[in-house]
Amino acid sequence: MSLPLDGRSAIVTGAGRGLGRAEALELARLGASVVVNDYGQPGRDGSGEASATPAEEVAEEIRAAGGRAVAHLGDVSDHEQARALVELAVDTYGTLDILVNNAGILRDRMIFSMTEDEWDSVIRVHLKGHFNTTHFAAAHWRARSKASGGPVHGRIVNTSSEAFLAGSAGQPNYAAAKGGIVGLTTSTALALARYGVTANVICPRARTRMTEDVFAGFQEPADGRLDALAPEHVAPLVGYLASPAAAKVNGQLLVVHGGMVAIVERPRVVGKFDSSKETFSFDELDELISPYYEDRPPNETFAAAEVLGLKRG
């Protein structure tokens, strides 16, 4: 019996641990040949010596289960290393069909304390890293489509965060990068649709090395059940979005965790005011807008965590 991703090849960045590892294993389980990318630095802030070990261990795990996988030690925030990553997939498997961008680091700080380097490093790894791999994958798919005279199978799954949706006071760099990734994804979806390529973005909620502080107060089940915050809850959605079955899913933002997937609408107008004269005056704006917010709770528009049911316990 054929599998949904038989004959496809995939890149998963940041796949040596956590979400990326679970996603790489799932794509392989569904039949894809996988390039497991990870820079392998031990610190979640991007510190420490780079190591091929995490990527190699996941690649070996895939091969031991009967799949095909190669490891790639590379920093996706480096343009040329991202080029080499895409070229490795094409040279090894003959083509590239799926790109899952997951690599990232954290350097948390309040906005008034954050250094320029803490800002730049997080934007570079998350946002530029997503751009770099997407750029080379997109060029590959465009060339293939032009050569064949028709659409190709190309799938991009990017990784954003509810820090972008709901705000995260101590993560202005991370929240900004994740918001930028959503914009990058929707732009890419429009640009590549004509070639048969889709681009979607997920906001996963999972207990990993990156989120150990965020979920410190959320208890793991003691009865042997799968943790609601396990990365394994996220991976099946990535596998679906990478498959032919999701051909009509494009430019979408999906929140996923613990057996739940929520499709997030694009921003919509919730209030509208018209000037009674040629243009607004200060007093008229005060009279119209101030009462609108008077009885509303702070940040009501962006209270995504409450809407999606994140509870401690």
Active site residues: 161, 174, 178
DSSP readout, 45-91? TS-S---SHHHHHHHHHHHHTT--EEEE---TTSHHHHHHHHHHHHH
Residue 221: count of CB within 10 angstroms of its CB: 11
Instruction: Report the candidate in 255, 257, 124 with the shortest Cα–Cα distance to residue 200.
Output: 255
200's enclosing H/E stretch is: strand 197-204
**Residue appearing with tokens 């590379």:** 74
The rounded distance, in Å, linking the Cα atoms of 131 and 138 is 10
Cβ 301 vs Cβ 270: under 8 Å? yes
Between vectors from CA 156 to CA 152 and to CA 160, what angle results, nearest 5°? Answer: 165
The rounded distance, in Å, linking the Cα atoms of 289 and 113 is 32
Two tokens, residue 282: 């200060």
Two tokens, residue 106: 């954290």
Which amino acid, 79? H
